[in-house]
């Protein structure tokens, strides 16, 4: 059993409070390996941004829980070595059982998400409350979810959005004691968030997806003023990466994300945490494919993972500065 405090990590309480007051959002970037972790930490140190290092249950299986714990501890030390201490949270993304959340808390996570959104409302409340009780006894913060995002969440596939119902949030937040709430207002996971037929085209022929349901977000804010809201499925799916991937042998089709302008608007509201995973995958894949195609004689992993890491770092710097507004807030 190890406490996150011993690893030099922080929970999300203080950074969410500041993000709410300062009208910006904390980046929650998913990682599965060393290069992704290095890119996230280096970008957040360079932009002086607080950061949430986010681990899915799939990532935990992939990377090994013990290694992850030391990687998070390493992230804290790495940031110091780079010359600037930033608040770092280690967060479980989409925890689906009490046992998984408990195990992460016992292994040094400072924040967990219990995603009971696929259960009935009452079962979601009961499960979330149980996790909150254990987590709070250990100083760990908890994110709950109300409403279902369309798309794939681990093994669960939802055909359509079930938007968060604003009339449920007060009851959910008070009965569970959660510290933040993930909501469904039109985002979804993965690189195919909208079908082209759902979009319109601007004067340059660029596809413009339907706007997020800011009306629902505003209604939620009215119900629980000042309460930290989380936006999942917030990748923008940069078209330059989609193009690079397809140019160098990939087969991505209809890859459409959330426009940055929509995310900037969300970051200025009660949305305190913005989750981004797919964009990291796209940036890395684009660069690795380019290296393979343009330097086919190379077979040293550092020669393609290094440039992929540089590209990732560049993308995270851009997001912190231009999209989330978290740059300079650490």
Residues that bind ligand G3H (CB under 6 A): 30, 56, 58-59, 93-94, 153-154, 189, 277
Handedness of CA 31, 196, 194, 156 (dihedral sign): negative
Cα–Cα distance measured from residue 74 to residue 80, given in angstroms and rounded to the nearest whole number: 10
290 binds, among ligand G3H, ligand 13P, Zn ion, none (CB under 5 to 8 A by kind): none
| Closest distance of CB 54 from Zn ion, Å | 9
111 binds, among ligand G3H, ligand 13P, Zn ion, none (CB under 5 to 8 A by kind): none
- Contact (CB, 8 A) for 324 and 262: no
| Closest distance of CB 258 from ligand G3H, Å | 14
Q: Which is nearer to Zn ion, 255 or 275 (CB)?
A: 275
96 included as an active-site residue:
no
| Closest distance of CB 236 from ligand 13P, Å | 8
Q: Tokens 């100083």 appear where?
A: 139
58 binds, among ligand 13P, Zn ion, ligand G3H, none (CB under 5 to 8 A by kind): ligand G3H
Does 91 participate in binding Zn ion (rule CB under 5 A)? no
Q: Which of residues 273-312 bind ligand 13P (CB under 6 A)?
A: 275-279
| Closest distance of CB 153 from ligand G3H, Å | 6
- Closest among 260, 320, 323, 272 to 49, alpha carbons compared: 320
Q: Which is nearer to ligand 13P, 178 or 291 (CB)?
A: 178
Cα–Cα distance measured from residue 315 to residue 191, given in angstroms and rounded to the nearest whole number: 16
Residues with Cβ < 8 Å from 276, sequence gap 6 or more?
A: 27, 28, 29, 30, 234, 235, 319
Does 180 participate in binding ligand 13P (rule CB under 6 A)? no
Cα–Cα distance measured from residue 117 to residue 164, given in angstroms and rounded to the nearest whole number: 10
* Paired residues of 91 in beta bridges: 54, 111
- Contact (CB, 8 A) for 195 and 257: no
User: Active-site residue numbers?
Assistant: 93
Q: Which residues bind Zn ion (CB under 5 A)?
A: 232
Q: Which residues bind ligand 13P (CB under 6 A)?
A: 30, 93-94, 189-190, 232-235, 275-279
């Amino acid at each position: 059993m190890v406490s996150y405090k011993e690893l030099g990590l922080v929970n999300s309480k203080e950074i969410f409070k500041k993000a709410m007051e300062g009208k910006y959002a904390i980046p929650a970037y998913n990682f599965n390996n060393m290069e992704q972790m290095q890119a996230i930490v280096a970008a957040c140190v360079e932009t002086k941004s607080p950061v949430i290092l986010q681990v899915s249950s799939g990532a935990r299986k992939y990377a090994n829980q013990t290694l992850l714990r030391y990687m998070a501890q390493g992230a804290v030390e790495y940031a110091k070595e780079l010359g600037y201490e930033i608040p770092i949270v280690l967060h479980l993304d989409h925890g689906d059982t009490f046992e998984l959340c408990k195990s992460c808390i016992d292994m040094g996570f400072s924040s967990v998400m219990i995603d009971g959104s696929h259960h009935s409302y009452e079962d979601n409340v009961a499960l979330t409350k149980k996790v909150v009780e254990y987590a709070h006894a250990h100083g760990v913060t908890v994110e709950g979810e109300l409403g279902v995002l369309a798309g794939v969440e681990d093994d669960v596939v939802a055909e359509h959005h079930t938007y968060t119902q604003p009339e449920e949030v007060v009851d959910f937040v008070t009965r569970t004691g959660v510290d933040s709430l993930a909501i469904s207002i039109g985002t979804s996971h993965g690189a195919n968030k909208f079908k082209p037929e759902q979009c319109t085209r601007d004067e340059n022929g660029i596809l413009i997806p339907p706007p997020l349901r800011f009306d629902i977000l505003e209604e939620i804010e009215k119900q629980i003023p000042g309460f930290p809201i989380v936006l999942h499925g917030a990748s923008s799916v940069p078209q330059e990466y989609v193009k690079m991937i397809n140019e160098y042998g990939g087969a991505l089709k209809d890859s459409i994300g959330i426009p940055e302008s929509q995310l900037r608007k969300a970051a200025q509201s009660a949305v305190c945490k913005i989750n981004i995973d797919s964009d990291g995958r796209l940036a890395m894949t684009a660069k690795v494919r380019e290296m393979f195609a343009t330097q086919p004689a190379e077979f040293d992993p550092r020669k393609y993972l290094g440039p992929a890491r540089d590209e990732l770092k560049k993308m995270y710097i851009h997001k912190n500065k231009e999209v989330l507004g978290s740059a300079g807030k650490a």
